Amino acid sequence: MKKYYKVLLEPQREGGYTALVPALPGCISEGDTYEEAVKNIKEAMELYLESLSSDGKPVPEETHLILDIEVEASVA
């Protein structure tokens, strides 16, 4: 069964990326490159979901919405 989840990739000041899945609390990974972070979070998600399944817990549905909202901001 395929599931789809939103992943937040955040560039880090010191280099690399942190990846997290808001719908899967605690499912976080990182990578030195964008591609590595995506590969690592996919693996983390699969392990997370396998763990839920083996523990008999329900698999969460994606419920988060991501919006781009334009606001006025003064720059000092």
**Sign (positive/negative) of CA torsion 39, 58, 24, 2?**
positive
Contacts of 6 (CB under 8 A, 6+ apart): 21, 22, 23, 62, 64, 66
Does the pTM surpass 0.75? The reply is yes
Number of domains in the chain: 1
Collapsed DSSP state (helix, strand, coil) of residue 17? strand
- Can you tell me the mean pLDDT for 24-37? 97
pLDDT for 74: 86
For residue 27, the tally of other CB atoms under 10 A from its CB is 19
Q: How confident is the model at residue 34 (pLDDT cuts 50, 70, 90)?
A: very high
CATH number for 26: 3.30.160.250
Using the predicted structure, report yes or no on whether residue 9 has a pLDDT greater than 80. Answer: yes
Range of the domain at 28: 1-76
pLDDT digits (tens, 9 = 90+) for 39-63: 999 999 999 999 999 999 999 999 8
**Sign (positive/negative) of CA torsion 36, 18, 10, 68?**
positive
